[in-house]
């Protein structure tokens, strides 16, 4: 997730706030997208994984609000083009015509992991900047969320390995 271009940025704190606004907007957007992805998943394990992450996503939003408080700023839902595009990709996947359910699950894992990787980059940068600026509590909150995003990505990888094998074309598996 790259920071949103909102005009000139004169300090690392202003850059941090831009990054936090992008993360906040993305988390709020995901609160509406994740239930749809979970409903579209055919594999119960994938659906449960996504629903579990929805609970964490709501906590991520609450953590970000605490971070904004420590910085003396108010959250704004300003998404970068990158995060908006990733979330739109999720919506487009859900609107596609018929897809074989196992192939759809493989696509859901890939789309969800792209979201996670963007969040991990965003939270990693924000945590580093908060730490450099001396915002110890904010840094700790962001590190907690970063660790949760990493765990979710690893879980998606494990699920994806079995789902990808299941999605193989039957003709391919006989080769």
Among the listed residues 54, 51, 47, 175, the one whose alpha carbon sits nearest the alpha carbon of residue 104 = 47
- For residues 88-113, one letter each, b for 16 or more C-beta atoms within 10 angstroms of the residue's C-beta and e for the rest, the string is ebbeebeeeeeeeebbbbbbbbebbe
Copy the structure tokens of residue 74: 């108010």
Domain 12-166 sits in CATH 1.20.1260.10: yes
Give residue-wise pLDDT tens across range 40-81.
999 999 999 999 999 999 999 999 999 999 999 999 877 666
| Predicted pLDDT of residue 4 | 43
In degrees and rounded to multiples of 5, residue 10 shows phi and psi of: -100, -5
**Is residue 1 scored above 70 in pLDDT?**
no
Among the listed residues 33, 32, 50, the one whose alpha carbon sits nearest the alpha carbon of residue 41 = 50
Q: What is the average pLDDT score of the chain?
A: 87
Nearest-angstrom CA–CA distance, 2 and 122: 7
| Predicted pLDDT of residue 82 | 67
Per-residue confidence band for 168, with pLDDT thresholds at 50, 70 and 90: confident
Q: 159 with 109: CB under 8 angstroms?
A: yes
**Is residue 96 scored above 80 in pLDDT?**
no
Give residue-wise pLDDT tens across range 9-43.
789 999 999 999 999 998 998 898 899 999 999 99
């Amino acid at each position: 997730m790259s920071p949103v271009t909102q005009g000139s940025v004169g300090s690392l704190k202003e850059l941090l706030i831009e990054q936090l606004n992008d993360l906040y907007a993305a988390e709020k957007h995901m609160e509406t997208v994740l239930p749809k992805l979970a409903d579209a998943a055919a594999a119960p394990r994938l659906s449960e994984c996504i629903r579990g992450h929805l609970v964490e996503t709501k906590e991520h939003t609450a953590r970000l609000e605490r971070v904004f408080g420590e910085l003396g700023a108010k959250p704004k839902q300003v998404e970068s083009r990158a995060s908006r595009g990733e979330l739109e990709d999720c919506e487009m996947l859900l609107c596609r015509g018929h897809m074989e359910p196992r192939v759809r699950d493989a696509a859901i894992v890939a789309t969800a992991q792209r979201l996670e990787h963007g969040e991990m980059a965003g939270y990693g940068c924000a945590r580093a900047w908060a730490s450099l600026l001396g915002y110890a509590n904010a840094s700790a909150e962001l590190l907690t969320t970063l660790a949760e995003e990493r765990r979710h990505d690893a879980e998606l990888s494990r699920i994806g390995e079995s789902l990808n094998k299941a999605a193989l074309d039957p003709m391919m598996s006989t080769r």
